[in-house]
Homo-oligomer: A and B are copies of this chain.
């Protein structure tokens, strides 16, 4: 994904490409990506305003001014984290739905699949992007927020028919729209208290959520 396409028409500035100085060959995609990954971790741990661009540069092994070669501003870097996280989540949700043949499952199992996947996105390994998007939304521009809201809309599209089916079947008493907001709250808040090293597993968490929302026993 996002591999740099070859540019056959570009004139070679130096013969036989640029020299490789060390073993860790760097190309723009790698460095940009290192900034995004490091920024995601720092933004999650210390918040956007609590993280300096120097911290981010150091995390990627760069000097203090170098992030601005890759990103116009600190805010643009934040948006990149959020957008990449959201695109990734949407994509992985699509895959999970397809892989399980979700449409064939009974609605409670459809909800279980979505909840389990959402916990994975929030709490699984390397899961800094979505928590940053959820908890640092204040720091992006209105235009950026609108753009992210569109991706979030895509993500939520998968949930709506499931909740409506459960509502129609009498398994979900609450108003569907409010239920969706409350359910996402219950899941998203787990970022604040879940500790992967101890306590429940993601499967146990999922079971508890299903039991709470639709009275589904494990």
A-to-B contact residues, CB < 8 Å? 46-50, 135, 137-139, 172-175, 178-179, 181-190, 192-193, 200, 204-205, 207-209, 211-213, 215-217
Contact = CB atoms under 8 A, between A and B. Distances in A.
A159 B173 CA distance: 22
Nearest to A50: B49
Contact of A49 (B49, B189, B204): B49
Tally of this chain's copies? 2
A66 to B, nearest CB: 23
Contacts of A204: 175, 178
A174 B212 contact: yes
7 closest A-B pairs (Cβ-Cβ)?
Answer: A185-B189, A49-B49, A174-B211, A178-B208, A173-B211, A186-B186, A182-B186
A189 B190 contact: no
A215 B212 contact: no
Contact of A186 (B47, B183, B200): B183
Contact of A182 (B139, B172, B181, B212): B212
